[in-house]
Structures are given as C-alpha cells and as structure tokens.
Structure 1
Amino acid sequence: MLLETPRLQVRRFRPEDAPALAAYRSDPAVAFYQGWTAPVSAEAAAALVREFAAADPGRPGWFQYAIELRAEGCLVGDVGVKLHENLMQAEVGFTLARERQGQGYATEAVRAVLRDLFERRGLHRVSAECDARNLDSARLLERLGFQEEGRRPANTWMKGEWTDDVLFGLLADRWTRLAASTG
C-alpha cells in the first residue's frame, strides 16, 4: 500500500521505522496534544511498528500510515485512520516530527489519505478532533476542507488536566466540490 505525492510516500510501516518513530514521538512538544507520554522507548516504538505493520487498512479500527520524505527516504510522521464498522466513515489523526512542521508535509500526507478514502474507497464522511489549544492542527484541517462541527468543553482528561475537544467533519460531496475547484 503506497500513496504518493510529489514529495512524500505515505505507506505501511516497516521495522526500520522504529528509531525515527521513537525519536519524534519522544519529543515533548510533539507529544503534548497526543494521547501518549514522551519519551517513547525503542522497545515501545518497535512494538508499535509491528502493530502498525500488521493492521489491515480495509478493516474497522485504526491503521497508521508512515509519512516518508521521498528525497531523503526518512520517516517524518504518521497519519492514523480509524475506519468505522460500517466501512463508510472514518476518523483521521496525524503526527509530524517538530523539525518537519510548517513545511506542508502534514497537509500533503493527510490530503493523499483523504483522496484515497473518498475517491478510491468511496467513504461518505471523515471526521477529526483536536485539543482546542492546538491551533496549528485545527488550521490544517480547515485547509483540507474540514468544517468545525462543535466543541466539547472539558471533555478529555489528559496529562493531568481537562481539555476541550474541537470536532471537525468532511463529507464526500464537499470533498468532491473542493477537489474540482482546485484542479
């Protein structure tokens, strides 16, 4: 399974990805809005990579795509897709190494995944949520066409505090209209 963009390969995880996964997921700034706690040990990263590599993107549940820079052949992040039981809806999430943020890689990778979900697999809806303080992630979702659908105040207990969740959604017909208007 491989999704290609001009700069990226969005692909299945491989065993050799474990050190890079451990490195970017161990960065406290990267982990701040995520459900894991930094640091992520080499052993934990290797176990995650095995779990990610064994998952089936066509079955309900989470599947993690590795984001690789084509020019450098290095892992810089991941995109998660949680396929709903009905196989017509999914949730997405993403993580990118701090030194690779702000260069459009996450937008490019998530767009490739959305294109696959909507255009090849025929999904009806994709949703996402983020910590209300995570403005960069919210802006990325909006750039891709997601619309804010609501806010759940003090909904998630994470890392010793209650956080607000912002909910986003993107329907297939909106994706199609946006894709047609951008060429």
Structure 2
Amino acid sequence: MSDDAVTSKHIVLYSPSRRVKLETPTAEFDEAVAILRTEPGTRKYLLGHLPATMTMEESKERRESRSKDPKILDFSAYVRQEDGSYELGGSTGVFNIDTIQNTCEAGILVATKYQGKGVTAEIFYALWTYLFEERGFHRVTLETAMENAPMRGWLERVAGVRQEGTKIECWADKAGGWTDVASYALLEREWKASIKARLEKRIADRK
C-alpha cells in the first residue's frame, strides 16, 4: 500500500478507498498537529499523555526528535475532501519497535470531527498492512484506557482484536489520579486470517 516513490525516510500509505492517506509528518502541518493533540475530543481518554496547550514550535521539536528515534515511526493521517484535497484528520504510528522480536506498539488519534465516521478502520488498515505485509512485523500491541468504551468496542467488535489483559492504575492522569489500561494485541497470522478481511468489509460497507 506504500507509494512507489517513497524513500526509507518518507513514506506515504493509502487505505483501499484512498479516502485516507498516511504520511510521515512534514513541517507544513506542525500547527495542525498541535491543534489535533490539544483538542478536548482527542484528549478525553489521554489526559496523562496529551498536553492541554501546544505551540507550533513544540510541535516542530516533537516531530524532529521523534523522526530521529529508530524505535518510533509516526504518521499523519489525512482525510480526502470532496474537492480531492486532503485535510489532517488524525495521527497514528508505532513505537517501542523491537527489530529482534519483530514487535511494536501502535497508537492512534482521530480528530473530533472525524470520530465515528469510519476513519479509524481506514487508518489502521493502511498502517497494519504496511507493518505486517511490508515490514514483516510478527506482533503489534495496543493500549487504551479501560474507560475508553468507543476504542475498546471498535477493537473488539469491529476489528476482532484480542484483549490480552488489564493493567491496574497504569497511567497517571496529571490530576493526581490513575487510569486502568486495557491491553490488546494482534499477530501477523491473525491479521491475514480474519482482521484484514473484517476491515475491508467495514470500509466497503461505509462507501
């Protein structure tokens, strides 16, 4: 699913419908990324991870530092508009990349205006296709707050991803409290056997 013209450092991926494009972050969207990461809708279940405020310079510094870390691969997620242009609609990527075990942890943010509109399926389809079919990863893990019912429901009922466990009081919430975390994982064989087809159907049904 990657663009034929990409280099090892600049990657472009598309969902099957091409409604969603993933691209390694670029400077022109630093301000838009700062807005995305501080939206109340994206921060709701990630108060201990996302800032309440973020400047364009802070967004730039984050992009540049993460691009140099071999254990991180970030993507900005763009949603195609009616005129054919693409608007920043979220972000995804992987971290804790282990090239010995061929494992990584994935994350996602979806802009408030695109939540509940089928964007998650297209983002993860493009990402997981790349990870399993082009990069040869064996295992991808995901974590989300136990109280994040929309994300947990999507992982379990839409994608069919396994919940492997619960981590009690795992995330600090920056307000003196703690959040329990649900841990999920999918293997390459699970992706090829069922999850890929489930997401393809989900995407096709929403056209």
Same fold (TM over 0.5): yes
User: What residue number does 2:4 align with?
Assistant: none
Residue by residue, what CA displacement relative to the aligned partner does 1:68-91 show, whole Å, maximum 9, x if unpaired?
A: 123332211110201224251111
Superposition map of 1:146-161 within 5 A: 146-160=161-175, 161=177
Is residue 100 from structure 1 mapped to residue 129 from structure 2 by the alignment? Answer: no
Is 1:145–1:175's contact at 8 Å kept on the other side of the alignment?
Answer: no
Residue by residue, what CA displacement relative to the aligned partner does 1:129-166 show, whole Å, maximum 9, x if unpaired?
A: 10101111112322223111111122222222111010
Question: Normalising to structure 2: TM-score of the pair?
Answer: 0.79
User: What residue number does 2:87 align with?
Assistant: 74
Q: Distance in 2 between matches of 1:149 and 1:3?
A: 29
SS in 2 for 1:103: coil
Q: Distance in 1 between matches of 2:167 and 2:185?
A: 14
Q: CA RMSD in A?
A: 1.9
User: What residue number does 1:177 align with?
Assistant: 193
Structure richer in strand, relative to its length: 1
In structure 1, list runs of 5 or more residues that go unmatched: none
In structure 2, list runs of 5 or more residues that go unmatched: 1-10, 202-207
Q: Distance in 2 between matches of 1:77 and 1:151?
A: 26
Which residue identity lines up with residue 124 of structure 1 in the other structure? H
Q: Distance in 2 between matches of 1:13 and 1:68?
A: 11
Q: How many residues align?
A: 179
Superposition map of 1:67-146 within 5 A: 67-70=77-80, 71-82=84-95, 83-86=97-100, 88-142=102-156, 143-146=158-161
After TM superposition, the runs of 4+ consecutive aligned structure 1 residues lying more than 6 A away are none
SS in 2 for 1:43: helix
Is 1:148–1:167's contact at 8 Å kept on the other side of the alignment?
Answer: yes
